[in-house]
Structures are given as C-alpha cells and as structure tokens.
Structure 1
Amino acid sequence: MKGKATKNPIFAFTTWIRRQPPKMKAFLVTISGMAALLFLRMVVEDHNNLFVAAETVHALGTFVLIYKLTKEKACAGLSLKSQELTAIFLAVRLYCSFVMEYDIHTLLDTATLGTTLWIIYMIRFKLRSTYTHDKDNLGIQYVVIPCAVLSLFIHPTTSHLLFNRICWAFCVYLEAISVLPQLRLMQNIQIIEPFTAHYVFALGVARFFSCAHWIIQVFDTRGRLLTALGYGLWPCFVLLSEIVQTSILADFCYYYVKNILGGQLVVRLPSGVV
C-alpha cells in the first residue's frame, strides 16, 4: 500500500511541496496566482462578472451552511463570531449600496445577509447546545475596532457624504478579516467536518474572484481605476484588503484541495496552519 501511495501523482506533488523551503513555497504561490489571473483575464470577457461571481459563490457558501444546520441539527465547528462579523459588514455594505448605488450587487448582498442572519439565529437559539463556544475565542472587538479606527482616517475621497465614505471603508476592511474567528476556531479543533470545510473553501474562492476582479481591472484601465476610487492611500488599501482576504484563506484552501483530492471526507489541519 505504501508503494502504491508514493506513485500517486497528487501524493508525490504535495510531498514535494511540503519539502520546499518557505521562499520556494512563496514563489510557487506567486506564480500560480499570476497564472490564474492571466487565465481569468483571457477567458472571462466582461471582468465585472468576476465580482458578481465572488458574491454568488459567497451566497452559495451560506446555503451550504443552511443545509448543514438543517440536516445535521448541529453547529459544531462553526464560528458564531465570524457570522456576526459577516452580518455587520453586509449590513453596512447594503446601506452603502442603497445610498450610493443600486445594482445586482445589492440583490446578492440582500440574499446573503438574509441567510447569514438565519444562520446566526440557529446557532444562538436552536442549536446552542452544539455550539463550541470555548473554541470560538477570538473577540469581535479585536476585529471591529481596528477596522472602525482605520476607516476614520483612510476612506474614499469621492463626492459622497463623509459618513457614507467612512461606512464604505469600514465594510471593506471588516470583510477582509471577518473570517479570522472561523479560522481560529478551526485551528483549535484541527479536524474540520465536510460542510464547514466546503463553506470556508467557498469563501476562499469568492475572495480570489474578488481580488482578481480588482487586479485585472487595474491593468485593463492602465491604473485609471485607482484614481476613479479616489486619491491618497484609499485606492492602495482597497487592493491591499482584497489581497489580505485571499492570503488569509489561501493556506486553508491548499489543505482543503489536498484532502479532497486524496479522498478524505474531512480536512485535517496540521499545527500552525491559519
């Protein structure tokens, strides 16, 4: 059995990756990301669809959680705090959409917020006995307060009201790190059951599509998109937030794909991941 396992190309590739030094791993990740961006730029005709795809995948991820909660009648492995942070940034983003623009993004965010609030209700009241409260130990205040303070100083310089511009910046920053409590919880329990893993992987895919949308748009407009967003540090922080979101979830997505391709139904995280 051991001899056959080593002949498995997936096993051999992942083993080779693990043996590489950190600098080589970072180089391979960078090359893979650039190749994926180039592929999307060539295949997707309207690059605005990438942002719609990101929101759609996020919405699908929440439906996966709803299926989990209704089928298994348990919420072990799910972070209530991440769901609450998600509800906060979606609510703020919806407010910004209504007062600043109204399009397909508003409809997708409305659907995602509705399902997220339902998930919060189920965890808090219906399935509270199965909630791993002691493992979900990253305080919300450590996420919300830095985002709020940063948004006061670095926000869009457009013609909209100052309060609306600050809200816009706040939801961008909060979205970037709202998954941290979920990742902290998964690191604490080490073994992630399938539905939770599918949900977090969906978040990773959504974040990559969103990040790809911004990066490709910058190249397509030869940098004019950055000035359209405003001046000062804000355009750079928008891109940085997208990159941070993708980077935070990249490590988990690697282990997710590795376990799924290896035929494992659960995702096992080694110590130190996420």
Structure 2
Amino acid sequence: MSKTKSPIFSVTSWIRRQPPKMKVVLAVLSGMAALLFLRMVVEDHNNLFVAAEAVHVLGTCVLIYKLTKEKTCAGLSLKSQELTALFLAVRLYCSVVMEYDIHTILDTATLVSTLWIIYMIRFNLRSTYMEDKDNFKIQYVVIPCAVLSLFVHPATSHILFNRICWAFCVYLEAISVLPQLRLMQNIQIIEPFTAHYVFALGVARFLSAAHWVIQLFDTKGLLLTALGYGLWPCLVLLSEIVQTFILADFCYYYVKSILGGQLVVRLPVDVV
C-alpha cells in the first residue's frame, strides 16, 4: 500500500509543476498576503525595520556558531562579508552623525560580528575557504553604487558628504549578497548553517521591504515626499524590493528542503 502524501508535499509538487509565469504570480500573491498579515498584526510598523536588523544579527550569530564549532568556512563568501562590512560601516557612520537611535546599536553589533567572521575566514580558517568558487568581481557592484550615490542621494539638511554616504550604503546593501549567491550557485549543495544564514538575510530583507511598502500605503504616498524628491525616494523603495527578490528564489528552495526533511539545500544550476 502506498503512503498517503502529506498536504505540504502535494502543494509543493503542484507548485513545481506550474509554468514560470504562474510561479511568479503565486510568489507575488504570497508576498501580498504576507504584507497584509504584517500590517494587521504589527501595531507599530517601524518595528518591522528594527526586526529586520535583529534578524540580520541573528544570522551572523549562526555563522559565528558554524565557524567556532565546525572549524570550517566552506560555503561562505568572504567577498559578501566584506561588502556587508563596508555598507554597515558607512551606515553606522551615517547613523551616528545623522540620527543615533536603536539602529545604531544594532548596526554596531552586526558590524562587529561581521568583522570577526572576516577575520576567521582570512586567517584562522583560510584552508577551508573556497576561494576558487568565490569568484564574483566586487568592483562590478561597488563602483556603480558609488557613482550612482554621487548623482542620486537624499535631499536633506545634512552636509552633502553624509547624504552621499547614506545613498551608497542603501545601494550597496541591496546587492551585497550577490557574491554569496554566486558561490552557492557554483557549489549547488549548501550545508545547514550557511543556508540558515542566507535564509535569515532573506527574512530580514523582506521585513525591511515590508516596512517601506506598508508605510507607503499608510501615508497614501506621502512617504515619498518625506524621503525627499527626484529619483531618491523611488530608488530607496526599489533597493528594498530588489534585495527581497534577489533572495526569494533561494528562500523557496530552503523552505522546500526543510519541509522535505533534508539537512542540506540543493540548488538547480540556474537558481541565481
């Protein structure tokens, strides 16, 4: 007698059989449902942004556990960690000179832990680093972000240098995970702790994007005016959405693997 298939298995199998356009529609509908749910259950929507940064901190803690307990950095992109440290350092500077609040504390914690991860990969665990697989050219993202920030940045009362730095860290954060995704595409089989970390980034990015989208609807578009004028408000929202979509595909395979009881995440060749 054949085993009865679980509802979750049936649903995932049905989704897998759908054409790409239908999968996109389902993903959009799922995202809208999640946004509606968050809008209903979260009273202060500013807490979503704090939660996003807290999840990022939690993700780095997972990596620290991996590096200290398993003594290996296999599957981790040093370049992604360096880009993360760069945008966090710039954002921390902006936070200190422009606002100084709970975000400053969270950014400090994340930056310190990220720098520790970089140190472990570069020195203590260098022999396990997959340098040949971590082949993304970071200048292809740093230079365009720097150039774009010179021309499109917030129009606030702060000095020009600080406004350019603010824009740079927003743009760089949106694509800082690309080297990690490229490395995972190259190896295709992702061990649990690295998968947990990248999934945490996906959750953090979704919460951050949800914060901006919900605020936009709640203010009936006035949020765009509050952020400034010109292309800057649109690029802020676009950066948040881009981050979410960059990680959405991986998160799908992560959830699929977890529901299937697999300890590792297996990625198709063209997932990134």
- Same fold by TM-score, threshold 0.5 exceeded? yes
Q: Partners of 2:254 and 2:20 in 1: how far apart?
A: 20
Q: Partners of 2:171 and 2:203 in 1: how far apart?
A: 18
Q: Partners of 2:258 and 2:24 in 1: how far apart?
A: 23
Mapped pair 1:156 → 2:148: no
Indicate the percent of aligned positions where both proteins have the same amino acid: 86
Q: Partners of 1:28 and 1:7 in 2: how far apart?
A: 22
Q: 1:29 maps to which residue?
A: 27
Which whole-Å deviations, capped at 9, do the CAs of 1:55-105 have from their partners, x for residues lacking one? 000000000000000000000000000000000000000010011100000
Describe the SS at the equivalent of 2:270. Answer: coil
Query: How much does 1:8 deviate?
Result: 2.4
Q: Partners of 2:5 and 2:58 in 1: how far apart?
A: 36
Q: Partners of 1:67 and 1:87 in 2: how far apart?
A: 19
Q: 1:73 maps to which residue?
A: 71
Mapped pair 1:40 → 2:43: no
2:244 to 246, 249, 260: 246
Q: 2:47 maps to which residue?
A: 49
Letter in 2 for 1:22: P
Which whole-Å deviations, capped at 9, do the CAs of 1:227-252 have from their partners, x for residues lacking one? 11100000000000000000000000
**Which structure 2 residue ranges, 5 or more long, are not aligned?**
none
Which whole-Å deviations, capped at 9, do the CAs of 1:3-51 have from their partners, x for residues lacking one? 43x7122222122112111111111111110000000000000000000
Moved more, 6-15 or 66-75: 6-15
Q: 1:125 maps to which residue?
A: 123
Q: 1:176 maps to which residue?
A: 174
Describe the SS at the equivalent of 1:7. Answer: coil
Query: How much does 1:214 deviate?
Result: 0.3
TM-score, normalised relative to structure 2: 0.98
1:263 to 255, 261, 267: 261
Q: Partners of 1:215 and 1:52 in 2: how far apart?
A: 15
Q: 1:19 maps to which residue?
A: 17
1:61 to 59, 62, 69: 59
1:196 to 194, 197, 219: 194
Q: Partners of 2:187 and 2:7 in 1: how far apart?
A: 29
Which whole-Å deviations, capped at 9, do the CAs of 1:179-214 have from their partners, x for residues lacking one? 000000000000000000000000000000000000
Which whole-Å deviations, capped at 9, do the CAs of 1:139-189 have from their partners, x for residues lacking one? 111110111111111111111111111100000000000000000000000
Matched pairs, number: 272
**Which structure 1 residue ranges, 5 or more long, are not aligned?**
none
Q: 1:138 maps to which residue?
A: 136
Letter in 2 for 1:226: L
Q: Partners of 2:47 and 2:160 in 1: how far apart?
A: 29
Describe the SS at the equivalent of 2:200. Answer: helix
Counterpart mapping for 1:97-136 below 5 A = 97-136=95-134
Letter in 1 for 2:134: D
TM-score, normalised relative to structure 1: 0.98
Q: 2:225 maps to which residue?
A: 227
Mapped pair 1:86 → 2:93: no
Q: Partners of 1:111 and 1:7 in 2: how far apart?
A: 44
Q: Partners of 1:57 and 1:265 in 2: how far apart?
A: 21
Which whole-Å deviations, capped at 9, do the CAs of 1:92-127 have from their partners, x for residues lacking one? 000100111000000000000000000000000000
Q: Partners of 1:159 and 1:171 in 2: how far apart?
A: 18
Q: Partners of 1:217 and 1:200 in 2: how far apart?
A: 26
Q: Partners of 2:5 and 2:65 in 1: how far apart?
A: 37
Q: Partners of 2:139 and 2:104 in 1: how far apart?
A: 27
Q: Partners of 2:141 and 2:121 in 1: how far apart?
A: 20
